[in-house]
Amino acid sequence: MKLLLKIVFIILLTPTLALAQVDRSVMPEAGPAPEIQIGKPATFTMKNGIKVFVVENNKLPRVAISMVLDRDPIQEGDKAGFVSAAGEMMKRGTKNKTKEQLDEAIDFLGANLSTSASSVFASSLSRNIDEIVALMAEVVLQPSFPEEELKKIKSQSKSGLAANRNSPEYISSVLTNNLIYGKNHPYAEAETEATIDNYTIEDIKNYYNTYWKPNIAYVAIVGDITVDQAKKLMEKNFGKWKKADVPKKEYDFPAKPENAFVGLYDRSESVQSNVTVAHVLDLPTGSDDVIAVRILNQILGGGGSGRLFLNLREDKGWTYGSYSTMSDSRIVGSFNASAQVRNEVTDSAVVEILKEMKRIQEEPVDEEELQLVKNSIFGSFARSMENPQTIASYAINTARYDLPEDYYNTYLQRVDDITREDIQAIAQKYLNPDQAVITVVGKGRDIAGPLSNVAPVRYFDIDGNEYEPEEGDDLGDITAEQVIENYLEALGGRDLIENLKSSKIKSSATIQGMPVEMIEWRMAPMNFKMELSVMGNVMNKQTFNGDRLVIEAQGQTIEGGEVEIAQAKGQAKLFPEVDYINNDDYQLKLVGTEGIKNKKAYEIEVTKGDESFSVYFDTTSGLKVRESRVMDTPQGKINLKVDFGKYEEVSGILVPHYKTLPLGTMDVDLNVEEVQINADFTEDTFQIK
């Protein structure tokens, strides 16, 4: 009986004990920082100055070897881009092998080999390490820099630039760097088509001959290899590499503005704004403050639990995400907080970002908030130690930046020692909301006024050149209908346009070095066909016969729905602007004027049913220069625009011989090669089976 009572007592008491042991309403007290003992890699310095760090790890039969040059940033000036091109060129051929032979040799080993302007990396199975390091040495010591490969790199760079120059994110990044570092600082440089054209193979060779020297090289060898093997391998392949003096570069620390201001890039087609609040930081790598700054940034905007994210997304619902970064550097560090928001809340988003910067300066952070960030750092640091490459990287950092020998062994303890008061003090020291540059890429007409209530607004182009915007819109008595009439007259006359029967237009473009061709057929009243070919292969075909739309792509045939058919009807018109003034289903509104490619254009808002889009007409020539439509996507609203230019006469009608084709995140430049007016084809061209 006593045993039974004892068992019942234990059963009844157990839930109570469990609840007493785990009270989920109270955060458990933090334990001590985890102790991390980082093994020291074997190190040796070769006679020519190469500093080598070896981490033996026999878990897998693989070896990785990386080399990095410790050089200062280089100001490229009107040849911006040649330094990165030099890094690309190093793997494009050697004195003994063409690019194809080099690639084949690497693939045969099942290895990897990559290069950049100041580093090279190789990895392979340990049994092939002799061969891959020999290839690595060949790339480093005997690059041939073939002229034809530079032409390919330049072409690829221009294709990438064409995509980037229209990207709000890219514009924001380039403009922000220009405004916080100053246009003459290497961190502000960005390549353009002109700078790409300016550099030559001689610039590539001069860079290589000046900076690729062993005495500024650090090498990490990690994997299934002994120190003795590593020494023999390095001596055999890099022992004859001759050291030489490498120039040092010094740059003035960029000045902060006296007061915060808005640097506005007026992008008329934007339906949302890219907002960035930024300024420089005097935070040298290895500084005693670096750890506290990392914790500060994690709390402010380091992820989904950061204050910026919780405020602008979770509380306000203005953005998909808002984040910040704080970077250290031997030259100059930076602070950057950003968000993409709707036009109507652009000014409010800036206010909230600045508010969060000031709040963390004025109020100590919560102890729980601080501990959560510390725990995150403890976990990520411990996980990083599972990678042997980390040990080598830490050893190289210790040598490069003259860090204390126990810097990484004591890292977590120093994280744990940071207090709420430390975070507030470090925020007061490094955050400068009152001297920040607030860059905004967006539609100036919608956002400039409200932003001027936050800080003075100044207009800039992407390269950081300031300009004065035109004062208001002097539209006079002109109406939207008159703008359309003027356009039709400029084309060749309304009577001629309305009596057109058909047209065929062939255009071409180049995407990442691949030839692209597009052919469009149109026939009144409402027939349309388009074929898009890449390297001679039809990739997309659309046929619309006035009632049905069929889309053929990637081996699939899709019947267009109601929305797609409505769009096809507009696309099928030879000159849809005739309908804008003849058909009462369309409503026109003259919104104002916009600057488009250094010219002034009338913006006409066209509405039909639930659809609304904008068309722009040059105020001087009357010709159409842009059409812009807003599309809903899973990533939010995006603007699809088509630009028109190079009008030439064909059969008495001016036809644009240049236009852009929106393709994903980039705009493809289409050049018209052939135009046929009242072309010789029949309705059979638009037959759908």
Give the three-class secondary structure for 466. Answer: strand
Kindly report the backbone phi and psi dihedral angles of residue 269, in degrees, each rounded to the nearest multiple of 5, phi listed first.
-85, -5
DSSP label at residue 60: S
What is the spatial distance between Cα 339 and Cα 323, in angstroms, rounded to a whole number? 7
What is the spatial distance between Cα 88 and Cα 203, in angstroms, rounded to a whole number? 13
What pLDDT, on a 0 to 100 scale, did the predictor assign at position 487? Answer: 96
Tokens coding 602: 């009338």
Starting at the earlier edge strand, list the strands of the sheet with 51-56. 42-45, 51-56, 217-223, 62-69, 119-125, 112-116
Please name the amino acid found at residue 136: M
DSSP label at residue 71: -
Three-state SS string over 379-404 comes to HHHHHHCCCHHHHHHHHHHHHHCCCC
What pLDDT, on a 0 to 100 scale, did the predictor assign at position 633? Answer: 63
What is the spatial distance between Cα 121 and Cα 454, in angstroms, rounded to a whole number? 48
What is the spatial distance between Cα 518 and Cα 538, in angstroms, rounded to a whole number? 9
Length reported for the chain: 689
What pLDDT, on a 0 to 100 scale, did the predictor assign at position 242? Answer: 96
> Same CATH fold, 480-686 and 261-467?
no
CATH classification code of 42-165+189-238:
3.30.830.10
| Kind plus residue range of the DSSP H or E element containing 55 | strand 51-56
Domain parsing of the chain, residue ranges: 42-165+189-238, 261-467, 480-686
- Residue 116: partners with Cβ closer than 8 Å, 6 or more residues away: 84, 87
Tokens coding 570: 């507009």
Give the three-class secondary structure for 434. Answer: helix
What pLDDT, on a 0 to 100 scale, did the predictor assign at position 274? Answer: 97
DSSP label at residue 476: T
Q: At CA 232, angle to CA 230 and CA 236, rounded to 5?
A: 120
Give the three-class secondary structure for 174. Answer: helix
What is the spatial distance between Cα 496 and Cα 655, in angstroms, rounded to a whole number? 13
What's CA 212's distance to the chain center, in Å? 29
* Contact criterion met (CB below 8 Å) for 323 and 303: yes
Q: Could you say which architecture CATH assigns to the domain 261-467?
A: 2-Layer Sandwich (3.30)
CATH classification code of 480-686:
2.50.20.10
Tokens coding 581: 């003034």
Tokens coding 658: 């240049």
Give the three-class secondary structure for 357. Answer: helix
What is the spatial distance between Cα 181 and Cα 191, in angstroms, rounded to a whole number? 16
Of the candidates 79, 205, 213, 200, the residue with the CA atom closest to the CA atom of residue 143: 205
Please name the amino acid found at residue 494: R
Q: Which residues of the chain have pLDDT under 50?
A: 1-20, 22
